[in-house]
Amino acid sequence: MTDLPRIDLTQRLAGRVAVITGGASGIGLATAKRLAAEGARVVIGDMDATTGPVAAGLVGGLFVQVDVTDEAQVDHLFDEAARVYGSVDIAFNNAGISPPDDDSIETTELPAWQKVQDVNLKSVYLCSRAALRHMVAQGRGSIINTASFVAVLGSATSQISYTASKGGVLAMSRELGVQFARQGIRVNALCPGPVNTPLLQELFAKDQERAQRRLVHIPVGRFAEPEELAAAVAFLASDDASFITGSTFLVDGGISSAYVTPL
């Protein structure tokens, strides 16, 4: 029997340049580490001027401070990645917030609604647009936008603006995936279930009952780890996902497939 050629997965993304927003912590940082381990050069875009450079140092990459709601700053992030490293091959548009004043529609006021929409949805529009300027010229690229499982089903613990913003990310990603498919560019929406990140820990720290209400719906019986989402992003970024675009890529521990899960 002829030996099959071996694939070195540690070099699956060799030569690729990846821009990650929200890259200084949580899913973003885990993904930065994973993409770098697979050979990519990583540019971390984040608001935090303290943790951002540390994160970039961990992956031997570049840090660019960015407010993802600001068009000029977003354009600068992607232009700087191309200037320093020569291309923009992967865009993981991941920055997002889930503040406590975004709750039920009955109690969430307009300023809270608008802030979440700006950070979670407007930023994905701006980042996708900036990435596409480079990717269209190159004739290749992979964009992964962080949506959520709440983009495909209603949440038991309402965060009305967050849910609406993630639904928008999902719909926009689907349309971009269709629109740019013949130009060599793939666009997919990553839809995580609840992930064990500082954002989630903060959300549930003062309300254990709320956390348990989430856990009861997860067939796997636990929250995801950031590294599990990072693995999904690495796959979508790679040529292994060459026929996947416009997808709703659920990494949710089975939540969206479950009718009910007993304790």
d(CA 193, CA 191): 7
Phi and psi at residue 65, in whole multiples of 5°?
-70, 135
β-sheet bridge partners, residue 144: 92, 188
Find tokens 């709601």 and name the residue: 69
- Which of 85, 125, 162, 259 is catalytic? The answer is 162
125 is catalytic: no
Locate 31 and state its tokens. 């993904």
Catalytically active residues are: 162
